Each structure stands twice: as structure tokens, then as C-alpha cells.
Amino acid sequence: MLLKRILFLLTFSVFILGSTGSSMAATGTITLKDVGSFHVGGEVVTLSDLPVKEVQAIPGGPVRKSDPNGDYQAGQMYVQYMIQANPVSEYPLLMWHGGGLTGVTWETKPDGNPGWHSYFLRAGFSTYVSDAVERGRASWARYPEIVKSEPEHRTQNSGWGMFRIGPSDGYATDPTKRVAFPEQQFPSESFDQFWKQAVARWTTSNSEAIKAYGQLMDKVGPSILVAHSQGGSYGLTVCQNAPDKFKALVLLEPAGAPDPAKVDASKVKDVKYLVIWGDFFDKSKLWTTYRANVEKYLDAVKKAGGTVDIIDLPAMGIKGNTHMFMMDRNSDQIAAMAVDWLKKQNLAK
């Protein structure tokens, strides 16, 4: 295993050193032929026999009745697209966020610096950035009448450890008293700003999310997926369901994967996989477990003849990356590796 890792690193280092310097993509203009959005998936759900309320929506305006009985949309997701006038790839780049977050994940870093979305746009990719079912602009349906369970709102306290900024008990309300991992790369002084992006999530809606993502793939067609955490987990599953819709998956710390005993891994052998892992796994039992599940699946894909490349950042000497490495100080450096890899797969000019 160690030998395999060293051999991989040697090969990969040569590839990185030989790259054409995509980090240049951080500057330059973006010329689009189309900007817009759509919702995909979802269905009408009808409620009845609920009590009617009275509300005053505009201060000073009239009181009006609010009758909750009637038709709602539930289960749809939101997708914003930016189509390049001259794309570097014939395939669009889809960006799927992680749990408790939205597509904003890609748009900005909490220190105000540009995120991966801007990076990939400047690199010439057409993008589709989405909000998963029930999050952000996807909208969420009434509970408990439509969605049967309660949402989870994550605290900043839990996010600090969950996203491996620092130890689980390292968070304090007072920013000056927080304990981060030594030499970690997250702009931790902007952690409160980051948390403004956090949204409620339902832990019971995976099947609805997977269904809507499948409908997105039917609509958009063969694509390159860049997915983070829970989004990576969804990506691996949706790709198993419709491998012809994916050219490549660039997975940033996917949080889960199909059970290889329950799926046919050879179905996805023509899809190219790049998986990127950050630092501090030895500090998190939860992430060690998640990673092991993912590696088990990817090993099965490899054995079935698939292409799976892995970037283990700390093993390459790139230290201190958190679970949110698309927001870390060196996020451009990692984005450049992903772009170079896509070029190597002949998926970008």
C-alpha cells in the first residue's frame, strides 16, 4: 500500500510539474453566451384540512387570510448555468455542494477571495451550479405535513470539528479563543462569515436529492462533475444509476459511496475519477470512516477496470487542508491540479 502510494505520488508529481500552469486561470475576463437558471424535478403535493390563518405581510398593509390548504411543489432542485461563448470543454462542468450548504460553496471564499466557480469559469468551463433538494434556492416544503421529519440546523460549534478546521472541542463563540489545527489552511478568522452560508438540511431526504440529480443529468446530458462531501456521495450514486451521463467525476472529500457488494462497479468503468483528500484525517474518526467507505467502493471500480486517480494532499507535501479546501488559502493551487487532470483526460483544451 505504501509502495503503491509512493509510485502514484512520483507519477503524479511529474504530471503536476509538467502542467501548463492552469493557476493562471485566476485572472482574465469571462465571456458568456448565456446566463440563467432553472428548477428540475419535484412534483405537486396537495394538502387539505389544515386551519386557515391571518397574516399582515406588508407593515401598514391590510390583514389577509393565509390558507395552507392547496397545492405545493416539493422535491425540486435549483440550477444556475453560465455558458461560455468559447468553452474549453465540449462538456459542461456541474458543481454539487456538500451537506448543510448550497451552491454558494463554489462562489466565494469567506475571506472574500474568489472561489472555485470563478476559477473554473476563468479556465473556460461552462458551469451548472446547483442547490440540492430542500436547500437554498431549491426551496423546502412544509414539515411535518410534506417532509415528514425535522430539519437539522448545524451549529458553528459542530462545523468547526466536522469540517476539520480544528478539534471538535476547539470552537468558542469568541473568535480569539478558538483552537484551529496548526498550520491549517482555512481562513479561520472568517469562520463566522463562512457560517452565514450554512442552511438547514434534512437528513432523511437523500432519495429525493438523488432522484432530482438524476433528472438534472437527463436534462443536461454528459457532463463533468465537481462535487464536494455529501455532493460527492450523491455523485457516485447518480453515476452508478446513469454512467452514460458522466465523463468524469472530480470528488472533493466525498462523504460516502454505494456499497460495492450491492452494485455492479463495472457499470462505471468508462468514467474517469479523481478524488482529492485534505489533511487531518487522523484527527477525525467520522471522516476516517467516511473515507474508508469511499475507498472500498473506488477499489471495486478500479478492479472492474475503471480509472481512479487520487490526490492525497498531505502525502504530496501540501499540508493543512481542511474539509472545505475549495475555500482554503491555497484553493487555486488545488483547482489547478483538477484542471490539469481534466486536460490529461482529454476533457479540456
Residues in region 218-237 near a copy of itself by CB under 8 A? 230, 233
Q: Which is it for strands 307-312 and 246-252: parallel, antiparallel or unpaired?
A: unpaired
CB count within 10 Å of CB 61 equals 8
51 binds a copy of itself, rule: CB under 8 A: no
CB of 210 to a copy of itself, least distance (A): 10
Which is it for the CA torsion 136, 138, 139, 142, positive or negative? negative
Nearer to a copy of itself, 194 or 246 (CB): 194
Give the DSSP per-residue string, 95-114. Answer: EE--TT--THHHHB-TTS-B
Selected range binding a copy of itself among 10-18, 177-185, 189-197, 341-349, rule: CB under 8 A: 189-197
200 binds a copy of itself, rule: CB under 8 A: yes
CB of 138 to a copy of itself, least distance (A): 8
Phi-psi region of 183 (alpha: psi -120 to 50; beta: other; left: phi over 0): left
> What is the x/- site pattern for a copy of itself, positions 92-111, by CB under 8 A?
-------x--xxx--xx---
The b/e string for 116-132 (b: 16+ C-beta within 10 A; e otherwise) is: bbbbbbbbbbbbbbbbb
CB of 189 to a copy of itself, least distance (A): 15
Q: How many residues bind a copy of itself (CB under 8 A)?
A: 85
Residue 288 DSSP SS3: helix
Residues 308 to 347 in contact with a copy of itself, rule: CB under 8 A: none
Residues 101 to 160 in contact with a copy of itself, rule: CB under 8 A: 102-104, 107-108, 112, 114-115, 117-118, 121, 131, 136-137, 139-142, 152-158
35 binds a copy of itself, rule: CB under 8 A: yes
CB of 1 to a copy of itself, least distance (A): 23
Contact 232/276 with Cβ under 8 angstroms?
no
